[in-house]
């Protein structure tokens, strides 16, 4: 299990992109890092949500496709969380709510937070959810060994402390 996070901002958004990315990464740091290429199937199918039905396993994924510049795709199958945070001119996503709360605090934007339902495909563009579609994830899949949610204990707290120092330096 690893964390995923990202955002789509409209041109009107005043959110600092670097600070927002740092905040999201600090928020998911406890989740460890062992990503797999689930998204390549969706991208090769021209981002057709039903292509994700061919996958067996637990997943939440995000990807870019050069054929659709400015769009970030995200999907949640089963067994992995995915959260959205929506602002007026921005939409953030992360594999945990805490990452969105950290990003909200440091980016200075209030967001409506919601957990994405299993079997949901999203296309994010210009700071909004441009497309939502449903697909049928493989609900028969059972993990042999369930991985712990926190795989790098304390890493997030360390990253948030560093983030606070960075933000304080930027404000000075």
| pLDDT tens digits along 6-25 | 899 999 999 988 888 888 87
Res. 169: pLDDT tops 60: yes
Looking at residue 144, its pLDDT comes to: 74
Res. 167: pLDDT tops 60: yes
Residues 119-129: tens digit of each pLDDT: 999 999 999 99
Task: Please provide the average confidence, as pLDDT, over all residues in the chain.
Answer: 82
Res. 80: pLDDT tops 50: yes
Res. 118: pLDDT tops 80: yes
Q: Are 8 and 124 in contact (CB under 8 A)?
A: yes
Looking at residue 79, its pLDDT comes to: 84
Looking at residue 106, its pLDDT comes to: 84
For residue 27, the Cα-to-chain-centroid distance in whole angstroms is: 11
Q: Give the range of the structural domain holding residue 14, as residue numbers without chain letter.
A: 5-171
Q: Give me the phi and psi of 26, to 5 degrees please.
A: -65, -40
Structurally, the chain folds into a number of domains equal to 1
Of the pLDDT bands very low, low, confident and very high (cuts 50, 70, 90), residue 34 is very low
Looking at residue 128, its pLDDT comes to: 96
Summarize the confidence of residues 70-91 as an average pLDDT. 93
Question: What's the CATH code of the domain at 86?
Answer: 3.60.20
Portion of the chain with pLDDT greater than 90, in percent: 34
């Amino acid at each position: 299990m690893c964390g995923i996070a990202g955002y789509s901002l409209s041109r009107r958004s005043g959110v600092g992109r670097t600070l927002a990315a740092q905040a999201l990464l600090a928020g998911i740091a406890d989740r460890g890092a062992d990503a797999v290429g689930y998204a390549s199937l969706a991208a090769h199918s021209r981002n057709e949500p039903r292509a994700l039905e061919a996958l067996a396993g637990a997943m939440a994924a995000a990807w870019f496709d050069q054929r659709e510049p400015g769009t970030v795709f995200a999907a949640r199958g089963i067994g992995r969380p995915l959260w959205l945070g929506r602002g007026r001119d921005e939409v953030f996503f992360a594999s945990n709510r805490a990452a969105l709360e950290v990003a909200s605090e440091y980016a200075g934007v209030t967001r409506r937070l919601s957990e994405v339902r299993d079997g949901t495909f999203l296309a994010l563009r210009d700071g909004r959810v441009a497309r939502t579609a449903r697909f049928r994830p493989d609900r028969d899949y059972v993990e042999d060994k369930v991985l712990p949610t926190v795989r790098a204990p304390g890493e997030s707290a360390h990253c948030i402390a560093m983030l606070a120092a960075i933000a304080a330096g930027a404000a000075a």
